[in-house]
Amino acid sequence: MLKLGVLDQSPVIPGETAADAMARTLELAKTVERLGYTRYWVSEHHDTPGLAGSSPEILIAAIAAHTSRIRVGSAGVLLPHYSPYKVAENFRVLEALYPGRIDLGIGRAPGGMPIASEALRYGRPKEREEHFAEMLRDLGGFLSDWLGPGHRFEGVRATPLVDTAPELWLLGSSGFSADRASELGGAFSFAHFINGDGGHEAVRRYFANYRPGPLGASPQANVCVIVICADTDEEAERLASSTDLRLLLLEQGQFRRPFPTPEEAAGYPYTDWDRMRIQANRRRMIVGGPEKVRAQMLEFSKGYGVEELIVLTYTYDFQARLRSYELLADLFGLGR
């Protein structure tokens, strides 16, 4: 049976505050654990008022404290901004508090505009791509208490010292992260919700080239996709209309604009180009009533060759988000 997890970006809906968004995240996490979902991942965005999740490590601690079984993780910590040693210690603390439940997902995107990235690095130069693999190796070494003889950090240990370690996932929307994951032994999650093209080849190459390494010992992959499920196809399309507009506005650099309502989407003056972009963005989404969504998700997972999907439900209305996750849990028999 298909396994399902959740990606939550803690969206701030007009009329609510960022604190409300955090409360919604905790409520959703408790709900999907009860429904039988396997993972709950939270994102990292900076200087983005519409998304409240800027510190996944802290949010993971809160979510894990309010749940008891579901795995909780980052999607992801943006490693080029940070010290691998500090990231290792943060996640060792989480693993000590919630052993066997923590996922450390790593990304390399900026997570915000260039000036926010500059503020995060605080004077440090931007890491080049070749340095990313080195940072990953060091991160794996700190978490496994092994950095080879002659390594500049040989003997340095990430504390607290605990018997278990978080699962290490590389997140990506291209083949780059898939290749690094296969080279270094990490698990891989393809961000289909960001890029609807090229994922099948990236996942295929990951499995074909995988070898154990500092990030793990066996291959594991999933795919994250936007899913909007409602009681009818018509209601799902109505909800998705605001998501269509949201994605379009983000493409245009309107990061600070509030999440649009379906009514705003219905009255928006779309150009022919806008409509073409919306059609293209639908490749990143699965939208419909229960039977339509179930068939498409099964076909989607089979096409990718994975047994787990991470679901991002992007809707203006929180109750509609909850309903979508409830319908999916029923469709796939989660928790039975």
Report if residue 234 sits inside a domain: no
- Cα 51 to Cα 30: distance, rounded to the nearest angstrom: 20
Chain mean pLDDT for the chain: 93
* Of residues 144, 189, 183, 154, the one with CA closest to residue 170: 189
Q: Containing domain of residue 50, as a range?
A: 3-226+287-331
pLDDT category at 128 given cuts 50, 70, 90 is: low
Query: In the prediction, which pLDDT does 49 show?
Result: 85
* C-beta separation of 184 from 215 below 8 A: yes
Mean pLDDT of all residues in 250-266: 88
- Cα 97 to Cα 22: distance, rounded to the nearest angstrom: 21
326: CB partners within 8 A, 6+ apart:
31, 35
- Predicted TM-score (pTM) of this structure: 0.94
Omega before residue 160 within 30° of 0, cis:
yes
Report if residue 74 sits inside a domain: yes
Split into its structural domains, the chain has a count of: 1
Q: For residue 206, what are its two tokens?
A: 């990951």
Report if residue 242 sits inside a domain: no
- Angle among Cα 305, 309, 312 to the nearest 5 degrees reads 145
Residue burial 181-213, b: 16+ Cβ < 10 Å; e: rest: bbbbbbbbbbbbbbebeebeebbeebeeebeeb
Could you give the count of Cα atoms lying within 13 Å of 163 in the half-sphere of its Cβ? 2
Report if residue 96 sits inside a domain: yes
At 34-91, the pLDDT tens digits run 999 999 999 998 888 889 999 999 999 999 999 999 999 999 899 998 999 999 999 9
pLDDT category at 103 given cuts 50, 70, 90 is: very high
The CATH number of the domain where 41 resides is what? 3.20.20.30
